[in-house]
Amino acid sequence: MLPSFGFLFDIDGVLVRGKTPIPAARTAFQKLVNSQGQFLVPVVFVTNAGNCLRQKKADQLSHLLGVPISQDQVMMSHSPLRMFKRYHEKCVLVSGQGPLLDIAQDLGFCQPITIDALREKRPLLDAVDHDRRPNVLSPSAVELPKIEAVVLFGEPVRWETSLQLIIDVLLTSGYPGNPYEQENYPHIPVLACNMDLMWVAEAQSPRFGHGTFMVCLENIYKKITGKELKYEVLMGKPSRLTYQYAEHLIRAQALQRSWEQPIQTLYAVGDNLMTDVYGANLYNRYLQSSRTGSKSRLQAKVSGGRGPATLSQDNEIGLSWENELASAAAAHCREEDSPPSLRIFQILQLHGLNSSLVSGSLGLADPQKAKMLKNQQLKVIKEIINSDLDNTTHRRQLAEVEISFHQCKAGITGVSLKLSGVPVCSVG
């Protein structure tokens, strides 16, 4: 029987925790392949990680899950950069860690320059760490081409160096080492991958993600210039671009396997409220707004919501990436994740809010505790969500937080959470 559905799997927190595989994941994947190790349905792994090549991630997953996985089944946060061809011939500054030049060149960039390479050619720019300051304080005579864009692949190792040099590039219009020119606004394009404020590894609490680095960069830029840092594009979950690109990979995989039956349903499996669940809801909104009457549709569901979404299949795979992604359109996408009370509980626990304020159903009989949650922690929750998704004017247009508390004389009996008018969960 030909498959009529496909899977989009998150990796961290769903299949692995750090480098440790989640035991049930290996068992589950044995059910998705035949005796020859071939997948029975289209499967794409969608991760916000961006510190390695697709092939390395595919090899890691093959080892961890015990099934053969190809690089064409892996989507990193930076994968959609392949379609931004207008930047591929330009000199771009790339930030992150791992084999940055290999990653950039694999994506199509012909003139990437890393933070370390820029620091080597302009040693006077990196002055925070006194032990790394150059002994000879003279300007470098090495010529550099104009840097025409900044590409943020992921969180770097030495944040102070990356922050300083990126700011230098933005405030000199691509000529770091020159005096700042604050009248040049807007700044050169910034393309950013992975907006995760925090992520789950082996530690008991979440760790800083690339979104935290972006918060630092945005606030430093605004403090210096008084203006907002603007992004040419934001990619990685929960962005619409990421889901469109993942859907393209599912269709390409089905075509490669000669599965002629249309893929009617996508199941997106994830664990993160702010990326997997919220991203699927945002994509659902886009699909609904893009629906047209007579097009064939691809139905999508999210593990975190029950519901269909339909995507246009009018364009052939051979078209350009831009046209392929632009063609996506759908009816709707509903969510079926963990119980809403658990998700609310998780977001409170995730950010260290007092767990004694939260019962299994979020019903709070103590009026004093209820008042504390409403008057103090409501502000904290809003700040957390806005920090994660909404730190610039660009993202502020995307996410507005609405948290409603259902009350009675005994206290708070329930909580509803919406982002940009999209219901995420309601309890009580």
Q: What is the CATH number of domain 5-77+238-336?
A: 3.40.50.1000
**In the chain, which residues fall in CATH 3.40.50.1000?**
5-77+238-336, 79-235
pLDDT of 159 > 80? The answer is: yes
**CA–CA gap between residue 346 and residue 352 (Å, rounded):** 10
**CA–CA gap between residue 167 and residue 159 (Å, rounded):** 12
Beta bridge partners of 269: 9, 303
What's domain 79-235's architecture? Answer: 3-Layer(aba) Sandwich (3.40)
Mean pLDDT of all residues belonging to the chain: 74
pLDDT, one tens digit per residue, over 44-83 is 999 998 999 999 999 999 999 999 999 999 999 999 999 9
More confident residue, 411 or 17: 17
Which pLDDT does position 172 carry in this prediction? 94
Q: Would you call the peptide bond into 145 cis, given omega within 30 degrees of 0 as the criterion?
A: no
Which pLDDT does position 382 carry in this prediction? 53
Which pLDDT does position 81 carry in this prediction? 95
Q: Can you tell me the mean pLDDT for 218-235?
A: 94
The tokens 């991760």 sit on which residue?
47
Residue 308's pLDDT band (cuts 50, 70, 90): very low
Residue type, 336: E
* Residues whose CB is less than 8 angstroms from the CB of residue 291 and which lie 6 or more positions away in sequence, other chains included: 310, 329, 330, 331, 332
**CA–CA gap between residue 77 and residue 80 (Å, rounded):** 7
Helix spans in 66-209 (H): 100-107, 115-121, 159-171
C-alpha gyration radius of the chain? 23
Express as a percent the part of the chain with pLDDT over 90: 37
More confident residue, 276 or 337: 276
Q: Can you tell me the mean pLDDT for 309-314?
A: 33
Which pLDDT does position 285 carry in this prediction? 76
**CA–CA gap between residue 272 and residue 296 (Å, rounded):** 31
Nearest to 246 by CA among 47, 109, 29, 57: 47
Which pLDDT does position 383 carry in this prediction? 55
Which pLDDT does position 409 carry in this prediction? 44
